[in-house]
Structures are given as structure tokens and as C-alpha cells.
Chains A and B, each alone.
Chain A
Amino acid sequence: MALLDVSDLSVVFQRRGEPPFTAVDGVSFSVEPGQTVGLVGESGCGKSVTSLAIMGLLPRRGAVVTGSVRFEGAELLSLSARQMRDRRGRDLGMVFQDPLSSLNPVIAIGLQVTEVLERHRGMPRRQAMVEAADLLDKVGIPDPRRRLDEYPHQLSGGMRQRALIAMALACRPRLLIADEPTTALDVTIQAQILALLAELVRDTGTALIMITHDLGVVAGLCDEVNVLYGGRVVERARRHELFRRPRHPYTHGLLASIPRLDAPRGERLVPIRGSVADNIPWDHGCAFAPRCPNALGTCVEVTPQMDEEDGRLLRCHNPVQENQEVPA
């Protein structure tokens, strides 16, 4: 049985006086125990909202969540707020993008770690402090005992993210969701944090959902990758399959727009035209069609369905062929 089974998950935001806005549109994927799964896409593609929906962190008012999120067989979406609260931090942990704003500025790091231990493992404060120092040590924070009494502003960006990871993993959750955990960090620190996540996941057997816009992050970490566009999964494949042979023109475009050191001299970077801003919903044809170099007449008329072909899922009328040169 899968650890997490998300099926047909949709999130619609409704604001008074504004038309409803569909952020996530029937997303399905699953995560096996210990597996690392990537959710990839540009900002606004629905990847963060998907993760918040899984965590039950969307506002109760204004966001309508439908579909199903099963964790170890139990339906999370039908849990009460209180039941979900018992699970968050214990069964599912989450790490956010900006480590500075994600830490409470007026509370010492120590308390921010121990409060999870007190809440879910019923540890007394003193014992929790010992455990917290141990956790900080595990995530590679030097001199952890001293750090317990320090405040977020006294830590470097990388240290802050390490502390957040320590908090998320404090109760050894079976699933960790990392939402762009390296985007706000320096490049050298990014690599360290990714290595740390990979190591922790391997050592603890925690499953990881990695949310990123950066295929480079995915390349080093994920077993399976879901590419999202306009709130829907457009391609899903094993990591190697995806990188070796991207089929969806969007995936192809994402890969082509990454600078590579090993690219032949003179090869141009190929950007994806336009931005998510001018996307159109999925009701009439493919949402990516206006930006797609492969677009056909049918693409703007018939909404493509998800098809399975050689072990991968693909939502495209005219996928990229092997060795095809995609015009920019």
C-alpha cells in the first residue's frame, strides 16, 4: 500500500466579489514509503497549494478542497481540524521556502524545536531540550547546545533551514514535504541542504515530496517526478526516463532552458515563451498550447487526457519525438 495516495485533488479559491480561481485541478499521484517524489513546475502551477492541501493548511474559508488524500489508507480530507492537528508534525512534516520568515523571530530556536517534541511525544521540557540538541546536531548545526538559546536572526540562512528541517523531522514523520527548501538560499548552501535532505531521507526511511521549480534539484534527489502545469500533472516519469527523454513539450522546454556545462559549444539556451500569466484554463484545449512550440490545431480545441505509455504518464496531443529539435 502506498504511504500517500492523492487522487483527483482539486483546490478552488473563492473570494467574495471575484470569480472562483482553480489552483489545483484534479491532481493524482502517490508516494511509496521511503520514496522521494518531485512536484515540478513554474510558480503558479499549483505545486505549493497541492502540498498545503495535503497538510490541511489551506484556510478553511475561501478554499474548497475536493478529491482524496489517503495517508496509510486513512482519508485526511475527512479528518476534523483537531485530528489533522494531531497528525501534522507527527506523521507529516513540512519545510518551507524562506527560513527566516518561517521561524518565529521572538522565540529561541530551542523552544521552537522542543514544542513539537512536547506536543507529539509528550516529552518534558528538560528531556526535550536534550533531544533538540541532538536533532540540531543531526542536521549539521555545530555547537547545538549554544544554538538552543539563540534566536533566528542570529543564525545564517543555511543554519535556519537546517533548524527548520530538524523541527520537521523531530517526531520522525513518515512523510516530509519540502516546499522549495533551497530557493531562498545561496547556491553553495543549496547543495549542502539538498545533500542533507537526501542523507536524512535515506537514514530515516522518510518519504519526501520535493516541491521545486528547479529541475536541477530534482535530478539529484527524486525517484519519480511529476511535472505540473496550470494545476494539472502533464507528465510523470521515473527520474532517469524524464531527463533522458522528456516527452511533454513543457518538460522539454524546462530542461532546455537550464544552462549546462556539458552542452556543446554554440548551443543556445532555449527559453519557454511567455509566462504562466497568459495561460488559459483547461476547459478548452491544452492550457500550455499558447506557449507550446509543438501545438497543433487540436491542442486549442480538445483538452488532452492523461495517457500511459511505456511506464510514464503524459497529457499531450503531440509529444516531443526522440531527437526532435524543438524550435524556440
Chain B
Amino acid sequence: MLRYTLRRLLQLVGVVLVLSMLIFGWLRALPGGPVSALLGERGTEEARRELTAQLGLDQPIFVQYGKFLGRALSGDFGASTGVQPGDSAIEIFLQRFPATVELSVVAIVLAVLFGIPLGYLAARRRGGWLDNLGVVGSLVGVAVPVFFLAFLLKYLFAVQLGWLPASGRQTGGLDATRVTGFFVLDGLLTREWDAAADALAHLVLPAMALATIPFAVIFRITRAAVLDVLDEDYVRTAESKGLTTSVIRRRHVLRNAMLPVVTTIGLQTGALLAGAVLTEKVFAFPGLGEALALGFERRDYPVLQLMIIMAAMVYVLVNLVVDLSYAVIDPRVRTR
């Protein structure tokens, strides 16, 4: 088990290495190269030459890559050019990281909390109204552009009904103590209940928008997995032993059905950042997604490359966790 974990971590290093090459190539592929990208249209010929030398672009390509890698390893991805001009990319990352984690956790918890039980019930009552509604709903859910759904929620619950705040992480001017950077957690730790509630209220709409696609996918996978397992011989064996329905459901059906669901949850968690880009932009939620959205809009390459590397690392790490938890559920993996 330990060796397996170590091997997977080693793989992660490989992935990041290849990824760094891709990103290095990506920057080189920029029309006009990184100099134009950094200086934009306004760069003079002299400034260009200066920056070229400064960035070491006059050196052989493998030297350049080595330097790029060295800087990246020391956390130096350069200064932001568009999102928060002047701030270092890593600073922006650290500052916004808790916001997105908070949002993602709430979103994935919502998706799992509703997706698994509803998927299970839909499978148990196959062809019933819940099943049909759920299947249709999950198909429609995947077809709706995330940012449009975010707009819809905002328009309905914030603009029209005014039940929930339309933007931000916390109401401005609220006197809240910062401890961890996770606003809800901070509020709970410092017993500033109003601050925690306010932060939570700000999370509801963006989290709902972000949770839609993971919910739809988890619902469908759970439903399909339970249907598959219900057809399995070992469920019939359990029935032939006269076990109670609750034991059969818990021990024999759910446990086996969870295997593909766990994988799905991992994949969806890893992919949340893409949805966060759109959702956070709609709700002006100051997280990584919003920084990325701004970065794309303003072509802020230092910020973008850091964020993309981090996104890929999170994705691979989440999948490692998934594989490890797989081993906990499935002895066939554990004892191989």
C-alpha cells in the first residue's frame, strides 16, 4: 500500500514535468512570443530587446527551459500583468486559494449529498416518476451552460427576489476577524456567527451553480451502478440467504455500487476549477476562478501558467486520493 502510494506520487512528478514542458511550449507558441505577451502592443523596440535579454530568450532553448523550471520550483512565476498588476502570481494564488476551496467543498458536498441518495432511489424505483424526472433533469443539467445557470440563479434569487447576495464573499464593511482565510470557518472559530452566516449566504448561489454538473453526473453514475449491482448474482445470493432488505441494500448493493461513484466524485472534484472560472466571474467571487477568468480576458500569462500547473496537480492529487480510497473499499485492489 505504501509502495503503491509512493509509486503514484512519483508518477505525479512525471506528470508535472511533462506539464511544465507543455506550458513552456505554450508560452513559446504565443504569437510574438512571451515578450509581446508581457509587453503587449505598447512595447518599444528597446524595451523588447531588454526584456528578451532579461528573460533569457536569446539563450538556447534547453537553457531557457532549465531556468524556467528553476524559477518555477522556487515558486517564482513572475508578476501579474493583468489580474492584479504588480503582485506576484504565487501571492495571488495563495490569497485566493481558500475562497475557491471553500466554494468547491460546498459544491461537491451538495452534489454528493443529493446525487447519491437520489441516484439510488431512482434505481430502486426504476421507471418511476423520480427516476424519469432525475434522468431527464440530469441530461438537461449537462446541456445548460454553467455561466448561464449562474446568471439564472443570480437573476432569480438575488436580483428579483433579493433572498441572497448577488456577489462577493462577504458583505463589505462587516467586521470579521481573519484566521484561516476560509471565511465560514473563520466566523465559526472566532464565534462571529453573523460573519459565518454572511459568508455562507454568499456561498449558496455560486455553489449551487457549480454543483449542477457534478450533481447530474454523480446522479447518473449512481443510478447506473446500482442498477448494475441489483442484477448481480451476489445480490441474488444475499436474497437467497433471507437477509433483511436493509442489510442487502447497505452491505451488498451500496458498497459495490460506490466503486464507480467514488471515481466519478474524484474526476468531478478535479474538474471543478473549470466551472469555478465561469461561476466566480458571474458572482464576482474573489477566488482562483475569477483570477483565471480575468487572466484569460487580460492575457495574464504568469498568473495563468501557475494556475494551470496547480489545477493539474490538484487534479492528479485528487485522483490519487480516489485510487487510495478505492483500495479501502475494494479488497481486489488492496490485496493484489
Contact = CB atoms under 8 A, between A and B. Distances in A.
Interface of A: 55, 57, 84-90, 93-94, 96, 98, 101-108, 111, 115-116, 119-120, 151, 153-154, 164, 167-168
Q: Is the interface of B mostly helix, strand, loop or mixed?
A: helix
B240 interface: yes
B332 interface: yes
A101 B256 CA distance: 13
B252 interface: yes
B241 interface: yes
Given A85-B245, A106-B330, A106-B331, 7 more contacts: A84-B242, A85-B242, A96-B233, A104-B255, A105-B256, A105-B330, A116-B243
B242 A102 contact: no
Contacts, number: 86
B241 A167 contact: yes
17 contacts: A57-B240, A85-B242, A85-B243, A85-B245, A89-B241, A93-B240, A101-B232, A102-B237, A106-B329, A108-B331, A115-B243, A119-B242, A119-B243, A151-B331, A151-B335, A153-B335, A168-B240
B252 A104 contact: yes
B335 A90 contact: no
Interface string B244-261: 110100011001100100
Contact of B238 (A84, A98, A104, A151): A104
Interface residues of B, number: 24
Interface of B: 232-234, 236-245, 247, 251-252, 255-256, 259, 329-332, 335
A180 to B, nearest CB: 12
B241 A151 contact: no
Nearest to B235: A104
A154 B251 contact: no
Contacts of A87: 242
A96 B238 CA distance: 11
Contacts of A104: 234, 237-238, 251-252, 255-256
B255 to A, nearest CB: 6
Contacts of A105: 234, 256, 330-332
